[in-house]
């Protein structure tokens, strides 16, 4: 579905980003695997990508504008153009607003939201036609009792997505995916009882897999979604509906 396409995926060393990178490679895209600290995991992702297609590692703290610019230029030097950008990189530290400090707030906004600005600004000169996909969250739609910084950043992503969808149409389609509870590092500290309770709350009766999100991203990155822009697809097993 993506044969001949060039894709950059941020935060692709593990979790949802890794699943997207592999899914895109399975569909014959060339994949730029962005990561910052998790080098060994990023190498594992790239090795898996190369079982199906090809790709390169792009190490950068994309919350910093110049670092984002550098990896985009490196990718373009390698491939000539960019067809798909998936803004996936993010952090989430459970903390009530009452006890949250300024440093945590700033870091979350920088990593989750400003990184999207940095990547989009630097990718657009090399994307004449293409797809931009943002990974938001159900918490960006409904709020959170233990992560106002995360919820705000993910809501901001949706505002940015809609604005770019209007501004960049018709040549570039811009959409978002809002995952619910997905089996990644974010819920690694769940107890068995917490997992069981969450599974009973989800209408589809299971916690989501990174591959569930990756499949929706594949659809949005492919020609099958060519008449869709400015939309948010919720992947929560029915946990959050609107």
How many CA atoms, within 13 angstroms, populate the side-chain half-sphere of residue 136? Answer: 31
In the numeric block, the tokens 């822009």 are attached to 229
Active-site annotation, residues: 150
């Amino acid at each position: 579905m993506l044969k001949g396409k060039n894709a950059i995926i941020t935060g692709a060393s593990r979790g949802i980003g890794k699943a997207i990178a592999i899914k895109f490679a399975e569909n014959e895209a060339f994949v730029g695997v962005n990561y910052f600290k998790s080098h060994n995991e990023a190498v594992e992702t790239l090795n898996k990508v190369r079982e199906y297609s090809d790709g390169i590692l792009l190490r950068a703290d994309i919350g910093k504008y110049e670092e984002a610019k550098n990896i985009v230029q490196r990718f373009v030097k390698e491939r000539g153009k960019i067809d798909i950008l998936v803004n996936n990189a993010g952090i989430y530290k459970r903390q009530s607003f009452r006890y949250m400090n300024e440093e945590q707030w700033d870091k979350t906004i920088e990593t989750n939201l400003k990184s999207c600005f940095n990547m989009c600004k630097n990718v657009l000169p090399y994307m004449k036609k293409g797809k931009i996909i943002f990974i938001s969250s159900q918490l960006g739609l409904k709020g959170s009792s233990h992560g106002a910084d995360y919820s705000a950043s993910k809501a901001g992503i949706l505002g940015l997505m809609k604005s770019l969808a209007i501004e960049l149409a018709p040549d570039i389609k811009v959409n978002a995916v809002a995952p619910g509870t997905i089996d990644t590092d974010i819920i690694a500290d769940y107890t068995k009882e917490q997992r069981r309770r969450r599974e009973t709350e989800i209408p589809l009766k299971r916690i989501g897999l990174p591959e569930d999100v990756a499949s929706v991203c594949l659809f949005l990155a492919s020609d099958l979604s060519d008449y869709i822009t400015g939309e948010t697809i919720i992947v929560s097993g029915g946990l959050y509906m609107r």
